[in-house]
Amino acid sequence: MHLRPLLISTLWLAATLPAQAQMFKDPQLEGLYRADKLAEVEKLGQQRLASQTDDAQAVLALAVGALRSNDAGRRKTAIGHAEGCVQKQPRAAPCHYALGVVLGVQAMSEGMLKMAGSVGRVRESLVEALTLEPGWFPARSAVVEFYLVAPGIIGGSASKAQETARAAARPEQAQALEGRMALQDKKFERALQLLAEVRPGGDGALQEDLLAWTQGAAFGLVNEGQGEKARPTFERLQKEQPESAMPVYGLARLAAEGGRHADALALLERSSKLKGADRLPLDYRNGLSQQALGQKEAAKASLTRFVATGKGSSANLDDAKKRLAQL
Percentage of the chain lying above the pLDDT 70 cut: 91
Give 117-134 pLDDT, tens digit per residue. 678 899 999 999 999 999
Q: What backbone phi and psi angles, to 5 degrees, belong to 55?
A: -70, 105
Residues 6+ apart with CB under 8 A from 254: 222, 227, 228, 230, 231, 234
pLDDT at 234: 97
Q: Is residue 222 part of a domain?
A: no
52 SS3 class: coil
**Bridge partners for 275 per DSSP:** 244
The answer to whether residue 323 sits within a structural domain is yes
Contact 130, 139 (CB under 8 A): yes
Instruction: Please report which confidence band the pLDDT of residue 16 belongs to, taking 50, 70 and 90 as the band edges.
Output: very low
Q: Under a CB-based contact definition with an 8 Å cutoff, are residues 221 and 227 in contact?
A: yes
- Say yes or no to pLDDT of 13 above 50: no
pLDDT at 120: 86
Residue 286: pLDDT band (50, 70, 90) is very high
Residue span of the structural domain in which 303 resides = 281-327
pLDDT band of residue 287 (cuts 50, 70, 90) is very high
Cα gap 138→125, rounded to integer Å: 13
pTM above 0.75, yes or no: yes
DSSP SS3 for 275: strand
> Where does 80-171 show beta strands of DSSP type E?
none
Identify whether 165 is part of a domain.
no
Q: In the predicted model, what is the mean pLDDT of residues 5-27? A: 45
Residue type, 227: G
Residue 317 in domain:
yes
Kindly compute the dihedral angle of the four CA atoms of residues 128, 29, 205, 309, in this order, to the nearest 10 degrees: -100
Number of domains composing the chain: 1
Query: Given pLDDT bands bounded at 50, 70 and 90, which one contains residue 311?
Result: confident
Residue 112 pLDDT level (bands cut at 50, 70, 90): low
User: Which residues does 149 contact at the CB level (< 8 Å), separation at least 6?
Assistant: 156, 184
Beta bridge partners, 244, equal: 275
pLDDT of 325 reads 95
Instruction: Give percent of the chain with pLDDT exceeding 90.
Output: 69
- For residue 6, being part of any structural domain is answered with no
Residue at 230 is within a domain: no
Q: List Cβ neighbours of 154 (8 Å cut-off, separation of 6 or more).
A: 115, 116, 119
Does residue 198 form part of some domain? no
Residues 162 and 1: beta-carbon distance below 8 Å: yes
Cα of first residue to Cα of last residue in the chain, in angstroms, is: 47
- 40 lies in some domain: no
Average pLDDT of span 208-231: 94
